Amino acid sequence: MRSKQLSSFSAGRLLSVLMLILSGLTWPAPGSPAPVEARTLGPAVSAEETPVFRPLPGPKKKNRIDDTTYFTYEFNEKPKMGMVILKLQVFTKKGDKIAPFAIQGRSDMPSMRGAHDSGDMDFKLSRRNDYLLPLNIVMPGDWEVRLTFTRDQKPIFYASLTFHV
């Protein structure tokens, strides 16, 4: 029994040390305070800079981006298991179709955040100026796609759409 406890303690301690080494942190000396943060993984973002993704109404509805543009979205078919294509179309106030943005989408299941996260994927622009994004739906349930519209490499609009499979 004693050797079993010792081996589990040693394995746990070894795992902790390996995790620290891999993360670039150092083990604090006995009696010294642990470092608050040894390194950062990217630029610090304050709460004010965290993007707010505006929820969108259903497909084919007009969604205002700014004073001069709006967009609509729809799927190539009713979302189901497997591959489905999300199509966005951007229009001027007068109704002319345009393509002035770079758009990224990120799909995931809100109830299992991170389990089926697609990561940021670029919409592809078709010859007809439609923004297209293939989505891989791997299980039934509620899904969310977060959209980021950028112009001149600056994010200008965030939105999210949800659907059920």
- The residues near 78 (Cβ < 8 Å, ≥ 6 apart) are none
Q: How far apart are CA 130 and CA 86, in angstroms?
A: 10
- The residues near 137 (Cβ < 8 Å, ≥ 6 apart) are 79, 80, 81, 82, 83, 84, 143, 165
Instruction: Give CATH for domain 47-164.
Output: 2.60.40.1940
Q: Where in the chain is the domain with CATH 2.60.40.1940?
A: 47-164
Q: What is the pLDDT along the chain (165 residues), one digit of tens a residue?
A: 554 544 445 555 655 554 545 555 444 555 555 444 433 343 444 455 789 999 999 999 999 999 999 999 999 999 999 999 999 999 999 999 999 999 999 999 999 999 999 999 999 999 999 999 999 999 999 999 999 999 999 999 999 999 999
